[in-house]
Amino acid sequence: MRIVWLTDIHLNGVADAVTDDLLATVTARRPAAVLVGGDIAEAPDVREYLLRIAAGLDCPVYFVLGNHDYYFGSVQQVRQEIYRLCQGHPQLTYLTYAEPVRLSAGYALVGHDGWADGRCGDYDNSRVVMSDHRFIRELAGTEPEARLSLLQELAGEAADHVRRVLPQALEYAQEVLLLTHVPPFREACWHEGNIADDQWAPHFSSQVMGETILEIMRSRPTQRLTVLCGHTHSSGEFAPIPNVRVLTGAAEYGRPDICRVLTLS
């Protein structure tokens, strides 16, 4: 079973012909399913791009949203809009609101957008100014302390979802794929071959998601989890414990491409 994984494709920043080329390249790999790991476009047009992706592919599309998908909109509104879209569109599954998906014998898929929770690195002294804090309605105009609680609330929601669906998937699957936008470990926050420093780590990683994953997988050493994440636009691999591997996907603005083709045996 072949699965194509895309992440951080930022389609609102490219010409329609580039999107068409990407979809044709994906189709040529004849995947059984396509995973899209967030940062698809922005709030005003993410729905339209999801419909284009579905129309250009002839297999199920499983996706999560990234921080950019909420720009010029609100997290709650976009999530509701995309949830409703998927209710009427069987080809599209928004994993943030989905139960585990059985991919093939022994394999299952779960996912959630995730959110950077400011716990890794040095949030208080970080000089990094994320555009999220201007362009996402819930975060715009908030003071650093109030913003941190909001970020941690969003990240906590994601971890709670995984705490519920991952054990369900592990009831029948030997290996689970977890699709999320934000790296769940600081060591998975790659940037040009290096790990994010104290300035960037608070905005690039979700510690609560990492802790949740470890808690679940440590008690199931004979089963495996592969986390597929993005957000940092640089590739790397990290294994916090022997049965968990985290793949971070590379991406380049303006040049959306296949991140990886996974073969499930």
Residues at the contact surface with Fe ion, assessed by CB under 5 A: 8, 39, 66-67, 231
Q: How many CB atoms lie within 10 A of CB 92?
A: 19
Helix segments in the chain, DSSP class H: 16-28, 46-56, 75-87, 132-135, 144-170, 201-204, 207-218
Q: How far is the CB of 174 from Fe ion (least distance, A)?
A: 30
Which residues, 6 or more positions from 16, have their beta carbon under 8 angstroms from its beta carbon?
Answer: none
Sheet holding 224-229, edge to edge: 101-104, 107-112, 175-180, 224-229, 244-248, 236-241
Q: How far is the CB of 231 from Fe ion (least distance, A)?
A: 4
Determine contact, residues 50/40, Cβ cutoff 8 Å.
Answer: yes
Tokens 């209710």 sit on residue: 87
Q: How far is the CB of 97 from Fe ion (least distance, A)?
A: 20
Q: How far is the CB of 50 from Fe ion (least distance, A)?
A: 16
Minimum CB distance to Fe ion smaller for 70 or for 107: 70
Minimum CB distance to Fe ion smaller for 181 or for 224: 181
Minimum CB distance to Fe ion smaller for 65 or for 101: 65
Q: What's the angle, vertex CA 204, arms to CA 193 and CA 179, rounded to 5?
A: 90
Q: How far is the CB of 140 from Fe ion (least distance, A)?
A: 17
Determine contact, residues 11/253, Cβ cutoff 8 Å.
Answer: no
Minimum CB distance to Fe ion smaller for 169 or for 205: 205
DSSP assignment, residue 137? T
Minimum CB distance to Fe ion smaller for 10 or for 52: 10
Minimum CB distance to Fe ion smaller for 119 or for 233: 233
Q: How far is the CB of 132 from Fe ion (least distance, A)?
A: 9
Minimum CB distance to Fe ion smaller for 8 or for 138: 8
CB-count exposure of residue 210 (10 Å: 0-12, 13-18, 19+) = buried
Which residues, 6 or more positions from 188, have their beta carbon under 8 angstroms from its beta carbon?
Answer: 205, 227, 229, 236, 238, 246, 248
Q: How far is the CB of 157 from Fe ion (least distance, A)?
A: 17
Which residues, 6 or more positions from 143, have their beta carbon under 8 angstroms from its beta carbon?
Answer: none
